[in-house]
Structure 1
Amino acid sequence: MSSGRGENRELVFHVIHKLPSGDTPYVRAKHAQLVYKDPEAAIVLFWKAINAGDRVDSALKDMAVVMKQQDRAEEAIEAIKSFRGRCSKQAQESLDNVLLDLYKKCGRIEEQIKLLKQKLRMIYLGEAFNGKPTKMARSHGKKFQVSVKQETSRILGNLGWAYMQQTNYVAAEVVYRKAQLIDPDAKNACNLSLCLIKQARYDEAQSFIEDVLQGRLSGSDDGKSKTRAEELLQELESRQPDLIWTPSGLNLDEAFVEGLDQLVNEWAPFRSRRLPIFEEISPFRNQLAC
C-alpha cells in the first residue's frame, strides 16, 4: 500500500511541477531548477544535456533563462549563438525571443534592433508562422492564438521602444505609426505620444493620449495603459508651449537603410511571397513626407 501511495505522490509531484519523466541529464536539470531550487546545478546539468544531445531545444532555452536569472545574461547569449545550430528549425523562433530578452537585459540595443528587423523580414517573406495567418502562443501557462497582424504590431512596438532607448524619436515615431496602422493598441499609442512629446509636437501627442483615455483602442481598458496615459497627459501639461525640439543627430535614412525602408524597396522581388498584411502597408518614406 505504501508503495502505491508513494507512486501516486510521485505522479502528482511531476504533474504539479510539469517535470519530464526519466533519469536523463535534462530531467535531472529540471529537478535541480524546479524542485531543489539550485540554479547553478541546473545550469551544469543543462550543459550536459546539450552535449549529450538530450532534448537540446528545451535544454538550451531553459539554460539561457536560468542564466539570465543568475545575472549571467552575457554568457547565455554566447551559449545560444554557439549551440543553436544543434537545435531544430521549430526551436529557432523561441530562441530568438529569449535572445531579445537577453539583449534588452544587457543593454545591447543594436543587436536587439537587428534581430527585430530580422523577425520582421521573416514575417514579410512568409517564413514565420510556417506561412499560416496565426500561430499558437503561450504566456503565463495559458495558450492563445496570435495573428500575423498582432505579431507584426508587437515586433514593431518592440523595435520602436529600442529606438527610443537610443533617443532616436524620429525613427521610433515612424515604427509606432506603422504598428498603429496594422493593429491599433493602447500601449503603442502611449509610446507614440511620448515620441511626439519628446519632439515638442504636443497637439499630436494629446490626440493619441485621448484615444487611450476615451477607450478607443485595444487595451484601453487595461489599468496600466490608462495610468500611463494619465501620466503622459500630466507631463504634456507641464511642458512649455514654446519649447523647440532639436533632433539627436541620428540620421533617419541610416537608421532605416537595413530595416523598415527595405520592407518596400529591397524586398520587391519577393512581393508575390509576402503575407497579405504587408500589402496594406504604404512605403515608410511616404509617412515622413507628410
Structure 2
Amino acid sequence: MVVKKETEPFHVIHKVPSGDGPYVRAKHAQLVEKDPETAIIWFWKAINAGDRVDSALKDMAVIMKQLNRTEEAIEAVKSFRGLCPKQAQESLDNVLIDLYKKCGKVDEQIMLLKHKLRLIYTGEAFNGKPSKTARCHGKKFRVSVRQEIARILGNLGWAYMQKGNYMASEVVYRKAQMIDPEANKACNLCHCLMKQGRNEEARSVLQEVLQYKLPRSDDSKSRNRAEELSLELQESGMPLPSLTPNLPEDPTFEDDFAEVLERVMNEWAPARSRRLPIFEQISQQLRDQFAC
C-alpha cells in the first residue's frame, strides 16, 4: 500500500487539477465534496468562461447522465461542442452516443455511428495511421483501426437490434465478426438469427463460443449469455423454417440495408484512394461475402 506523503499538494492527493478557476472548482465539487449539483453549476461557469470547455462539457454530461438528466446533457453537448477544438469532437461523439443509448434515441445512435465510420473510412479519425491512443476512465491505451471499426459496427448492430431490424443487425454483426471476431458479438448475432427463425444457423454461430473458438469465449458474461441462448434453442420445439427469412415490414429496411452495404463496398473497394492498410486486407473478404 502506497502511503501519501503529508507534503504532497492537495490536488495530487485528491486527483483534481490545480488552480482556482471554475473548472477546478467543478472538479473539486465532483470528486472531493461529492456534490454533483454544485459541480454542474461550476461546469456551466467553466463553459461560459471558456475554461477547458471540452473537458467541462464532457464531465458535466457524465454527471447529468448519472442524475437522469440525459436530455439536458444531450442539448448541452450539441449546443456547445462548437466551442471545443477539433481534436475533442470524436470524444464528444462518444459521449453523445452513450447519452442517446441511455435515453433510447436509437435513430440518433445509428446516424452518429455511421458518421464515425465515415470518418474512419476517409482517414480523418486515425489520420491515416493504423492505431491511435484512446482514453477510457482516465486510462490511456492503444486502439487499432480494426478494433475501432469492429467496436462501432458492434454498437450499430446493437442499435438495429433495439429497433427490431434483425436482418440489418445480422449483416452488421457479420461484418464486425469478419474484422475482429469475439464472443459477445457472436451471441448477439445468434440472437438476431433466432429472432428470424433461423435456429440452425444460430446453433452454428453459438458453437464457436461454447467450444472456445472465439476471443473472450471464457469471459463469464459471454459464457452465461451463450449458455442461456443454448438453453433457449434446446427448449424451442418449433420446426426450423426456411433459411431465407421474410423481410421486415419496416419500409425503410431495404434502403437502410442498401445504404450500409453500399457504403462498405464504396469505401473498401480497391478503386478507393487513400485507403488505410487494413482495408486492403479485408476488402476481398467483403466482396466475396456480399457478392450475391
Distance 2:26 2:139 in 1: 24
How large is the RMSD of aligned CA atoms in angstroms?
A: 2.4
> Number of matched residues?
284
SS in 1 for 2:123: coil
- Deviation (angstroms), 1:179: 0.3
Distance 1:166 1:94 in 2: 25
- Deviation (angstroms), 1:188: 0.6
After TM superposition, the structure 1 stretch with the greater mean CA deviation from structure 2, 200-209 or 174-183, is 200-209
Aligned with residue 239 of structure 2, among 221, 230, 242: 242
1:122 aligns with 2:124: no
The answer as to whether partners of 2:191 and 2:202 remain within 8 angstroms in 1 is yes
Greater percentage in helix: 1
The answer as to whether partners of 1:260 and 1:284 remain within 8 angstroms in 2 is no
Match of 1:228 in 2: 225
Instruction: Summarize the Cα distance change of 1:79–1:260 in structure 2 as closer, same or farther, 3 Å threshold.
Output: farther
Matched letter for residue 213 of structure 2:
R
Instruction: Summarize the Cα distance change of 1:286–1:220 in structure 2 as closer, same or farther, 3 Å threshold.
Output: same
1:176 aligns with 2:147: no
Structure 2 alignment gaps of length 5 or more:
none
The answer as to whether partners of 1:117 and 1:260 remain within 8 angstroms in 2 is no
Structure 1 alignment gaps of length 5 or more:
none
Match of 1:148 in 2: 145
- Deviation (angstroms), 1:262: 2.0
The answer as to whether partners of 1:174 and 1:284 remain within 8 angstroms in 2 is no
Matched letter for residue 248 of structure 1:
P
After superposition, give the CA deviation of every residue in 1:124-145 in whole Å (9 maximum; x if it has no partner): 1111122211112233443321
Distance 1:285 1:165 in 2: 28
After superposition, give the CA deviation of every residue in 1:57-101 in whole Å (9 maximum; x if it has no partner): 101110111111111111111111111111011111111110001
After TM superposition, the structure 1 stretch with the greater mean CA deviation from structure 2, 253-262 or 192-201, is 253-262
- Deviation (angstroms), 1:51: 0.9
After superposition, give the CA deviation of every residue in 1:12-44 in whole Å (9 maximum; x if it has no partner): x42343200000000000001111111111111
Instruction: Summarize the Cα distance change of 1:276–1:256 in structure 2 as closer, same or farther, 3 Å threshold.
Output: farther
Matched letter for residue 281 of structure 1:
S
- Deviation (angstroms), 1:266: 7.5
The answer as to whether partners of 2:130 and 2:277 remain within 8 angstroms in 1 is no
Report the TM-score when normalising by structure 2: 0.89
Moved over 4 A (4+): 243-247, 266-270, 282-290
